[in-house]
Amino acid sequence: MLLRAESLTKAFGPNKVLKGASLQINRGDSIGLVGVNGAGKTTFLKILLGQEMCDTGELTLGTNRIGYLPQFAESSPDVTVRDVLGRPYGHAENIRSAMAAIEGRMAEGGDLDWNALASEYARLEGQLGRLDSEDEGKLEEALTKVGLSPAFMDRPMSTLSGGERTKVMLSRVVVQATDCDLLFLDEPTSHLDIDTVEWLEDFILDAGAAVLVISHDRYCLDKVATRVAEISDGRTREYKGNYSAFIEKKMMDLDRMEKEYRKYVNQKRRQEEIAEKLHRDQWYSATHKTRLGMVDRMEEKEAPEAMKEITVRIQSAPKSGKNVITARDFSVERGGRKVIDNVDIEVHKGEKIGVFGGNGQGKSTLVRALIGDLPSAGDLWIAPGAKIGYFSQNHEGLDLGATAEEQLMRIVGRERRGDARSILAQMLLVGEQVEKPMSQLSGGERARVALAVLLMGETNLLVLDEPTNYLDIPARHAVERALNEYDGTMIAVTHDRYFLDTVCNKVCEVKDGKIRMHAGTYSSMMGRPNVREIVMDADEYRVLAPFTNWATGRKYAKGERVLVAPSEERNFRWAIDQGKLKKTGGRQRKKVLTDE
C-alpha cells in the first residue's frame, strides 16, 4: 500500500466539496480520477499530496517518493526552465524539512547528542547541495524526450507557450520518475499536441511507478487507466477497467439504482396506503401502527443523483453554395517565417474538418488566414453567403471585465435579458456564475460563455480553435453532439483524438508548412480504423516448455517471462492447459490492441 485515504471531507465556507472521499493506491496501480468541473478532483489531489488539510478523515502514506505534475505550469518571469527541472516535487522539500527539524531541536537545547545532530545536518546539507547541482546531461535528456531543445534550459517560463510550459513540467516528471513510487498527474494532456500525448501515454505505462491521472482526455484514460475513480456529489466510487468500461458500468449502476429506488418508493407508498385504510376502517384498533412500523424499518434507498446536461443547439443560417472556401498557392508568413507554404485547399459545404499537428506548426494561423483574419499570399475565395462564427481557444472575444450576462446582452440587446439568461442556463451557468466578472470564472466556465455567444448568432461556417479545451467530459459530449447535428460547415483545430474520430468527416495534418488532407477520421488516417490501444493489468507467466502461439505466430523459449492480459488469455489457453506456462503471481501493466 502506497497511500490510503478514508472518508475525507473538506468544506470551503458553506460549500462542502468532499463529503466522504476514499481511495487506496497500491504498487502498480494506474488510476484515472474523473468528475465534472468543480467536483473536487484537484482539491482531493492536494489533500493526498499534503498541500491541503482535510476537515475530517484519515490519510495514510506508505511512501514519500512522490512525483507531481500540477494542472497549471509555473509562469513567473523570475523562474527559468532550469529552475523548474532542478526542483523535483517533494524531494528537496523533504530534505529541508529534516534540516529544519534538526535546527529546531538544537534551538531547544537540553540533553542532546550534538555531534550526531551536527553530522546528520552536514549530511543533509551535502545531499541538498548535490541536488542543486543536478547532472546537466540528465536535465537535457529529459527536455529532449518531450520534444524540447536543450536551448530552452535558461529561458524564463513566462516566455514559453502553454504547450511548451506543460512540456517543461513533463520533463520535471521525467527527471524524478525513476526515484518515485507514485506519480500524480493533474490534466497532463492540456495544451499538448497529439504526438506528445501519445509519448506521455507510453511513458506512464513504462514508468514503473503507480499513477493517478486527472484527465478529461477520453482516449488517454482508455489507454492508461486500469481503474477509474469518480468524484460525484463529494464522494468517490470506483470501477475496474478503463474509461470505456467505467461508462458502461456506471450506466448499469444508475439503471440499477433507479429501479431499486422506484421499487422502494412503490412499496413504501403501498404500505402507507394500507395503514391509512386500516386506520380508517378500524379506528378503534392499533393495527395500522404495525404497518407504519414496517414502513419505518424498510431500508431507505437514495434516488440516483440527477445528471445535469448541457443543452447545446447551434443555429445555422441558410446554406451557402457548394464551395465555401477555395485557396490556391496559399501561403502565410509570420515573424519573417513562412508558416504555410504554397498549399491548395478546398472546403465544401457540410464538411467537418479537424485540423491537427505539432505545437507551433501553424494550425491556428492557417484557419485564421482562411477566413481572412490574417494576411496571406496566393488566391483566397470565401463564398459571399458564408456567415462565420469563430471560437478562440484563448476566448479573446470576451470582455473579462463584463459579466457573462452582460456579454450576451451586448449581442441581443438589454431588452432580451431573459433570453440571455436562458441560454446561459442551458450551459449550466446560473446564479453567481452569471453575475461574476468574466475574469473570475474558471477556464471551463469561460469556454461555455464563448459557446453561448456562438449560440446567439446564426452561422453556416464554424471555425473553432480548441473547442474542447477546459471542458469536462459531459460538456465535451454535449458540444460534440451539437456539432454532429449542425448542418453547416465546420473547421476545428484540436488535439482531441476523440473529437477527431467522432465529429470530423475529414482531417488535415499541418506539418513543416504543408498540409495533408484525409477523407475520414484521425484513426483511419493513422491506419488504425476499428482498433484501439488500451492498457490492462496482465498476469505474469513463466515458460516451462517451448511452444508457438499460433494466433500470433510468436515462438516462446523455456524460461521466458510472458505477460498475458485478460483479452489475450484465450490465445494462450492451450499452452496453459498443457502445462507449458505457469503463473508466477506477478502482475504488470501491458498495452494491448482491442477491436472497437
459 burial via Cβ count (<10 Å: 0-12, 13-18, 19+): buried
User: Is 314 part of a structural domain of the chain?
Assistant: no
Confidence band, pLDDT 50/70/90 cuts, at residue 510:
very high
Amino acid code (one letter) for 346: E
Q: Is the pLDDT of residue 89 over 60?
A: no
Domain end marker among 185, 214, 245: 245
Q: Is the pLDDT of residue 311 over 70?
A: no
| The pLDDT value given to residue 592 | 64
Do residue 510 and residue 563 come from a single domain?
no
Do residue 458 and residue 543 come from a single domain?
no
Do residue 237 and residue 253 come from a single domain?
no
Enter the pTM of the model.
Answer: 0.69
| The pLDDT value given to residue 449 | 84
Do residue 219 and residue 177 come from a single domain?
yes
User: Is 194 part of a structural domain of the chain?
Assistant: yes
Q: Which of 346, 355, 354 is nearest to 383 (CA)?
A: 346
- Could you give the number of structural domains in the chain? 4
Domain end marker among 522, 554, 574: 522
Q: What's the CA gap between 137 and 219, in Å, rounded?
A: 33
What percent of the chain has pLDDT above 70? 88
* Residue range 69-86: mean pLDDT, rounded: 76
User: Is 303 part of a structural domain of the chain?
Assistant: no
User: Is 518 part of a structural domain of the chain?
Assistant: yes
Do residue 336 and residue 209 come from a single domain?
no
For the ranges 55-69, 349-363, 415-429, the lowest mean pLDDT is seen at 415-429
Q: Which residue did the predictor score with more confidence, 183 or 482?
A: 183
Q: pLDDT for 358-370, tens place per residue?
A: 888 889 999 999 9
User: Is 413 part of a structural domain of the chain?
Assistant: yes
Confidence band, pLDDT 50/70/90 cuts, at residue 357:
very high
CATH number at 191 reads 3.40.50.300
Helical pair 404-412 and 443-456, crossing angle rounded to 10 deg:
10
Q: Is the pLDDT of residue 4 over 90?
A: yes
Q: What is the mean pLDDT of the chain?
A: 82
Do residue 59 and residue 118 come from a single domain?
yes
Q: What's the CA gap between 101 and 534, in Å, rounded?
A: 46
Do residue 53 and residue 119 come from a single domain?
yes
Cα distances from 420 to residues 113, 400, 416, 433, 482, in angstroms, run 72, 17, 6, 13, 19
Domain end marker among 245, 276, 307: 245
Do residue 47 and residue 182 come from a single domain?
yes
Residues 6+ apart with CB under 8 A from 151: none
User: Is 86 part of a structural domain of the chain?
Assistant: yes
Cα distances from 126 to residues 20, 116, 135, 176, 232, in angstroms, run 43, 15, 15, 19, 46
Q: Which residue did the predictor score with more confidence, 433 or 30?
A: 30
Cα distances from 78 to residues 59, 84, 116, 151, 159, in angstroms, run 35, 11, 38, 18, 11
Do residue 410 and residue 289 come from a single domain?
no
The most confident of the ranges 165-169, 176-180, 578-582 is 578-582
User: Is 305 part of a structural domain of the chain?
Assistant: no
Do residue 292 and residue 353 come from a single domain?
no
For the ranges 396-400, 460-464, 529-533, the lowest mean pLDDT is seen at 529-533
Instruction: Give the range of the structural domain holding residue 194, as residue numbers without chain letter.
Output: 3-245
User: Is 302 part of a structural domain of the chain?
Assistant: no
Do residue 374 and residue 280 come from a single domain?
no
Do residue 559 and residue 587 come from a single domain?
yes
